[in-house]
Amino acid sequence: MSQPPAPHLPTTPPALSEHDRNALHDLYVRGTPRNTLRAYERDLIYITMWKSLRASEAAFAPSLSWPEQEDVALLFILDHTRGLDKAPKDDPARLVAEALIDQSLRKSLACPAPSTLDRRVASWRALHRMKNLESPFEAPLIKQARTKGRKAAAKAPAPKSAHPITREVLEALLETCDGSLRGIRDRALLMLGWASGGRRRSEITGLLREDVSLKEFQSKSLIWIQLVESKTTLKGETPRLVLKGRAAQALYHWIEVAEIEDGGLFRAISKSGRALPRRLGPDAVYQIVRKRLALAGYPDGFASPHGLRSGFLTQAALDGAPIQAAMRLSLHRSMAQAQKYYDDVDVAENPAADLLG
């Protein structure tokens, strides 16, 4: 007997055979990035819990409806477009938010970022589409409420890293990496994360030994890297990336001394200095960057792992590299997003900024 589909998978027409229903679900899973599927699951849990808690104070059923009622969708928008830290303690929205915080589904009583609300609404709409239903978020009043809420909560987005890790900063970090196995690993990780286009933490720690080709290292000092997927590309559609020169030598040295033949590329290291089979998680990249910044004399909070990404693009702009060439490695899908790093550099170097002397 087949298992019922997960709630974030599409509802299949009853006329389809069991084999065809399974094929449709398999197609959907294979065609949707894993991060998106996980986001659907998290958002579904959040929305379900919010409604069950909110229903005690409002005149609607505690379980989700398909299609959902417009008044429920509107109340969701209203509850998530205002800060609740100054709301009366008996405010229903505040009580629900506190319950969600207790269950680790919400971080604080502050107004959620518009992007967070947009993502949850997008997931809710997607769940309706999977059931071949029109969502209440298409109603004019609710569309307008979302627009007004987004404008009311608008503020300049905080940078993901306080400072970019430019070449100068990176060199200071590399100076702290000694000849121990840990130092060799950290040097290779930092250089790969920066020189291959500014990789995200999950992309660095998701690499396997099989994703790295050393065939051209001896003849050309090149190492080719194949990301399985990234935030902006689907599985199997990510182009190969290249490491050259010092970065390629650092990675080759790590693979050689750690004797990595398969499995995770970057591994945990035991207290005795041995490479363990367990590969690093994304949080380990944060700890490595933080540790190396401290050893290099930078203040706490100077930069985060995203500084490898912003630093790569900032340095590319400083060196005059065409933005298209930088994006070829960074895998930015949006020209406007990558252009922000170039604009900051261009403004500083603009001769018009020196008119007063």
Type and span of the H or E element at 275: strand 275-279
Lowest mean pLDDT across 20-24, 117-121, 189-193 = 20-24
Plot region of 304 (φ>0 → left; ψ -120 to 50 → alpha; else → beta)? beta
Q: Which domains does the chain show, CATH number per domain?
A: 32-152 (no CATH), 167-212+250-350 (1.10.443.10)
Check residue 234 and give its pLDDT: 55
Q: How far apart are CA 213 and CA 334, in angstroms?
A: 28
The answer to pTM > 0.75 is no
Percent share of the chain, pLDDT over 70: 83
pLDDT at 20 over 80: no
> Taking residues 133-141, what's their average pLDDT?
88
Identify any residues that bridge with 269 across adjacent strands, giving them in sequence order.
275
How far out from the chain centre does Cα 286 lie? 14
Q: Report which DSSP code applies to 241.
A: E
> Taking residues 234-250, what's their average pLDDT?
82
> Taking residues 256-284, what's their average pLDDT?
92
| Contact indicator for 126, 40 with CB cutoff of 8 Å | yes
| Torsion angles phi and psi, residue 264, rounded to 5 | -60, 140
> Taking residues 141-164, what's their average pLDDT?
79
pLDDT at 2 over 60: no
> Taking residues 295-312, what's their average pLDDT?
93
pLDDT at 235 over 60: no
In the structure, what pLDDT confidence band is assigned to residue 60 with cuts at 50, 70 and 90? confident
Check residue 5 and give its pLDDT: 45
Mean pLDDT of the chain: 84
How far the first Cα of the chain sits from its last, in Å, is 79
pLDDT at 61 over 90: no
Lowest mean pLDDT across 155-169, 182-196, 197-211, 297-311 = 155-169
Q: How far apart are CA 296 and CA 290, in angstroms?
A: 10
